[in-house]
């Protein structure tokens, strides 16, 4: 189903020393599916994360933020991450917070640590109470099967409306040290992350100081998960967690070194891959669209225009139909909110086809050329603003009948 996104191969997902993974089938929403995930960290590990900016951020997000802040500022280290699908535990008020803490307490007891050393995560339906007893009942199974080589199962355990698991692995050599990194993510609707997306987890086996890891996770998120959108709906549960297990030989104590730059590049690359897998498996997606806005006065205005195009239902349905009704893209640029935009200097390309020139139809543009590109499953829209040097790229998908079908039927 996903657009040019082959199914991950379990054998290609490399174990990362310093992180063990266990899962369970806890029947949270449906039977016979993995819906509880535990990731247990070595004592050498550091963890950093970015979370949704949605004001209705979920109870587990609030608890994870607090526990992570305590650990990052010298408190007891994080011991494990706990994820459940089937229920978001968002819009659940004070009882939702107590529920999230109850699941942490139950796992802490099994792992012989304090509840504050657990980071909880949830995904699923909003405004419904978390079935705490079911989550807790699944924990002994998940802890019993903790092992290094469980990433494929982990990717499956965090799926909701995803049609396939999302994962990626890399081995890079930095300063003579081999670093192994593996990550997983999930979508597939309510996707317009603002800080990070629900859910991405990326681990590698270097040892990284906390402030450096904090800087790294923000950079990686800003250049990957924070550049994707399916439907413009920023979830209540978005979280992207970066874990440096410290089990390998590479040690990074400060940013700005060549080793840090190499690690940053590798982490950002794999993050982008995980983020793009979410778009390729977006609800109902039939096309993968890259929108690049160039020559802007600021990155912010480039992103504004790129998101305006990416969120337009008219643009998205035209992509679905392979219809080069490209004036809809100009309209979306025009209402993006860049109030002093001089459209008479604006150019637009569809892949190699020059469609709009100085704000009007390029006299050399032929509809057959636009039609040819629109039929592809991968399309790049390039907009040149002639206002400056800034650039931004956003990845999105089309809007199809299946999106409506899936979301008119999600809870049944």
Residues in 282-311 that interact with a copy of itself by CB under 8 A: 311
Smallest gap from residue 330 Cβ to a copy of itself (A): 4
For residue 405, state whether it binds a copy of itself (rule: CB under 8 A).
yes
| Two structure tokens written together for 211 | 């402030």
| Two structure tokens written together for 240 | 């992207």
* Residues in binding site: 160, 186, 197, 283, 407, 412
Q: Which is nearer to a copy of itself, 91 or 211 (CB)?
A: 91
Residue 384: phi and psi, rounded to 5, are -115, 120
For residue 76, state whether it binds a copy of itself (rule: CB under 8 A).
no
- Name residue, tokens 């290094």: 148
Q: Which of 28, 38, 88, 154 binds a copy of itself (CB under 8 A)?
A: 88
52, 92, 182, 197: the catalytic one is 197
Q: Which residues make beta-bridge pairs with 3?
A: none
For residue 358, state whether it binds a copy of itself (rule: CB under 8 A).
yes
Smallest gap from residue 323 Cβ to a copy of itself (A): 6
Cα–Cα distance for residue pair 9/77, rounded to 1 Å: 32
Cα–Cα distance for residue pair 164/5, rounded to 1 Å: 9
Q: Which of 312, 350, 387, 394 binds a copy of itself (CB under 8 A)?
A: 312
Please give the torsion angle defined by the CA atoms of residues 209, 215, 216 and 217, in that order, rounded to the nearest 10 degrees: 110
Q: Which of 109, 129, 249, 386 binds a copy of itself (CB under 8 A)?
A: 129
Q: Which is nearer to a copy of itself, 72 or 89 (CB)?
A: 89
- Name residue, tokens 């050599």: 173
For residue 56, state whether it binds a copy of itself (rule: CB under 8 A).
yes
Which residues make Cβ contacts (< 8 Å) with residue 233, sequence separation at least 6?
189, 190, 191, 192
For residue 388, state whether it binds a copy of itself (rule: CB under 8 A).
no
What count of other Cβ atoms lies within 10 Å of the Cβ of residue 256? Answer: 9
Smallest gap from residue 408 Cβ to a copy of itself (A): 3
For residue 395, state whether it binds a copy of itself (rule: CB under 8 A).
no
For residue 381, state whether it binds a copy of itself (rule: CB under 8 A).
no
Q: Which of 325, 380, 391, 393 binds a copy of itself (CB under 8 A)?
A: 325
* Residues in binding site for substrate: 160, 186, 197, 283, 407, 412
Active-site residue, 178 included: no
Cα–Cα distance for residue pair 177/198, rounded to 1 Å: 31
> What is the three-class DSSP state of 331?
helix
Cα–Cα distance for residue pair 56/397, rounded to 1 Å: 26
| Two structure tokens written together for 129 | 């109470």
Q: Which of 7, 98, 133, 314 binds a copy of itself (CB under 8 A)?
A: 314
Binding string, residues 160-199; x marks residues near a copy of itself by CB under 8 A: -----------------------------xx-x-x-----
Cα–Cα distance for residue pair 203/155, rounded to 1 Å: 13
Q: Which of 30, 109, 375, 401 binds a copy of itself (CB under 8 A)?
A: 401
CA 385 to chain centre: 28
For residue 327, state whether it binds a copy of itself (rule: CB under 8 A).
yes
Cα–Cα distance for residue pair 273/183, rounded to 1 Å: 10
377-395 in b/e burial notation, b at 16+ Cβ within 10 A? Answer: eebbbbbbbebeebbbbbb
| Two structure tokens written together for 229 | 């959108």
For residue 7, state whether it binds a copy of itself (rule: CB under 8 A).
no
> What is the three-class DSSP state of 154?
helix
The site for a copy of itself, by CB under 8 A, has a size of: 71
Q: Which is nearer to a copy of itself, 43 or 363 (CB)?
A: 363
Q: Which is nearer to a copy of itself, 20 or 294 (CB)?
A: 294
Smallest gap from residue 210 Cβ to a copy of itself (A): 27
Binding string, residues 213-252; x marks residues near a copy of itself by CB under 8 A: ------------------xxxxxx----------------
Kindly list the catalytic residues. Answer: 197
């Amino acid at each position: 189903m996903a657009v040019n996104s082959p199914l991950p191969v379990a054998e290609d997902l490399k174990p990362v020393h310093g992180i063990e993974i266990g899962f369970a089938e806890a029947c949270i929403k449906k039977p016979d599916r993995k819906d509880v995930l535990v990731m247990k960290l070595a004592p050498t590990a550091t963890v950093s994360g970015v979370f949704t900016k949605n004001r209705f951020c979920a109870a587990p997000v609030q608890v994870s933020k607090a526990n992570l802040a305590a650990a990052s500022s010298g408190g007891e280290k994080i011991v494990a991450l706990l994820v459940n699908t089937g229920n978001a535990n968002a819009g659940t008020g004070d009882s939702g917070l107590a529920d999230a803490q109850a699941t942490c307490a139950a796992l802490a007891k099994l792992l012989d640590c304090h509840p504050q050393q657990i980071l909880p995560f949830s995904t699923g339906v909003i405004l419904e109470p978390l079935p705490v007893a079911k989550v807790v009942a699944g924990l002994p199974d998940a802890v019993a099967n903790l092992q290094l080589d469980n990433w494929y199962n982990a990717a499956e355990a965090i799926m909701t409306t995803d049609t396939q698991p999302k994962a990626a692995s890399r081995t890079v050599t930095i300063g003579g040290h081999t670093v192994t990194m593996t990550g997983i993510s999930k979508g597939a609707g309510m996707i317009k992350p603002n800080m990070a997306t629900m859910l991405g987890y990326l681990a590698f086996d270097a040892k990284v100081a906390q402030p450096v890891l904090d800087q790294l996770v923000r950079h990686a998120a800003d250049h990957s998960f924070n550049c994707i959108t399916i439907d413009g709906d920023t979830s209540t549960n978005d979280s992207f967690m970066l874990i440096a297990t410290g089990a390998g030989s590479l040690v990074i104590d400060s940013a700005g070194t060549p080793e840090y730059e190499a690690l940053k590049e590798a982490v950002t690359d794999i993050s982008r891959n995980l983020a793009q897998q979410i778009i390729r498996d977006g609800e109902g997606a039939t096309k993968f669209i890259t929108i690049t806005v160039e020559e802007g006065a600021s990155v912010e205005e480039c992103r504004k225009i790129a998101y305006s195009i990416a969120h337009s239902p008219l643009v998205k349905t035209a992509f679905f139909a392979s219809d080069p009704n490209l004036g809809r893209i100009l309209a979306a640029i025009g209402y993006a909110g860049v109030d002093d935009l001089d459209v008479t200097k604006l150019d637009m390309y569809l892949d190699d086809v020059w469609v709009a020139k100085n704000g009007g139809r390029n006299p050399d543009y032929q509809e057959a050329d636009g039609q040819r590109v629109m039929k592809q499953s991968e399309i790049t829209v390039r907009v040149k603003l002639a206002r400056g040097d800034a650039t931004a790229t956003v990845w999105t998908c089309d809007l199809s009948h299946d999106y409506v079908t899936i979301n008119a039927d999600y809870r049944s």
